[in-house]
Amino acid sequence: MTAGLTTTPLATGTWAIDPVHSAINFSVRHLMVSKVRGKFDTFSGAITIAEDGTPSVSADIDVASINTGNEQRDAHVKSADFFDAENHPTATFRSTAVEAKGEDYVLHGDFTLHGVTKPVSLALEFNGVSPGMGQGEVAGFEASVVLNRKDFGIDIDMPLETGGAVVGDKVTINLDIEALRQS
């Protein structure tokens, strides 16, 4: 364990997600042989720890902030074929429970994307708490989940002549989160 870092539970109060030191990344199969990777540039959220120690997590993602490094692809993903960002500009996560799993956790919640809400469970690793660098305590987390885009009504089929599809159904989402204690 690094000096100044603890893995004790988070203190009671609100911890705001720091978008400057956090990332929401994803990957999806492309042409059945490789993966397209991307991220969302605009998001926010908070972790609230109740007096009894019960955590709750809320997060909002601006889906129009998708960034795959290719403007043409990003425009297509924002269109009605995929996210329909004009009508569904925000993806949201609201936790419903957290359970211990060995030294790590499973974060359960409701994820809304493209106007469809489904329960999801994220594998969660708590990396501990640091005293920070003058802005207050900072907590670190890593989480991941694999979603099926069709479960959220993103069901565009772009079949390949040789079988398979241009875009895979499974999307892997990886989160690297730093949260700053607010109160």
Q: Where are the domains of the chain?
A: 13-181
pLDDT at 156 over 50: yes
Return d(Cα 114, Cα 77) in angstroms, integer.
12
pLDDT for 1 beyond 50: no
Q: Model-level pTM?
A: 0.88
Residues 124-135 have pLDDT tens digits of 999 999 988 888
Architecture of domain 13-181: Beta Barrel (2.40)
Q: Is the pLDDT of residue 8 over 70?
A: no
Residue 10 in this model has a pLDDT that exceeds 60: yes
Q: Which has more confidence, 104 or 162?
A: 104
What pLDDT sits at residue 165?
64
